[in-house]
Amino acid sequence: MLSYKRVKNEHFIINGNSTVRVEPVITIPSPTSKGRTVKVFEVHQIVRENPANVIPRGALIALSFPNEHLGATEYVWLKEDRFEESFVPFQIADRKVNVEYANKLAKN
């Protein structure tokens, strides 16, 4: 089960046995579904890791939220609705953003 939680000012993504603390990077309209918005998060901390699904610190994760749940403190993508958009492929095409992101990773 995939879920998102915001506790105070901290954001978490839980996917099965993995939990990561993330920070929002950018919010954009979904390129594939009307009525949805994609939030891109950067992984800042691995809280609980599933060895079969390793998520590296610094990775970007793009998740699709229904617009009516965009500001919610919790959201669960329903497993039985296999057509609900959840993870979205995301690529930074802007060279300046890529360079800034690479420099940020190098500092860490």
Q: How far is CA 89 from the centre of its chain?
A: 11
Reported as type and span, the H/E element at residue 101 is helix 95-107
Q: Which domain holds residue 86?
A: 2-107
Q: Is the pLDDT of residue 95 over 60?
A: no
The pLDDT, as a whole number, for residue 96 is: 59
The pLDDT, as a whole number, for residue 26 is: 87
The structural domain count of the chain equals 1
Asked if residue 6 lies in contact with residue 74, where contact means CB atoms within 8 angstroms, the answer is yes
List, for residues 30-76, the tens digit of each pLDDT value. 888 899 999 999 999 999 998 888 888 988 899 999 999 999 999 99
| Nearest one of 64, 59, 68, 55 to 31, comparing CA atoms | 64
The pLDDT, as a whole number, for residue 108 is: 58
Asked if residue 22 lies in contact with residue 63, where contact means CB atoms within 8 angstroms, the answer is no
The pLDDT, as a whole number, for residue 16 is: 84
Q: Is the pLDDT of residue 17 over 70?
A: yes
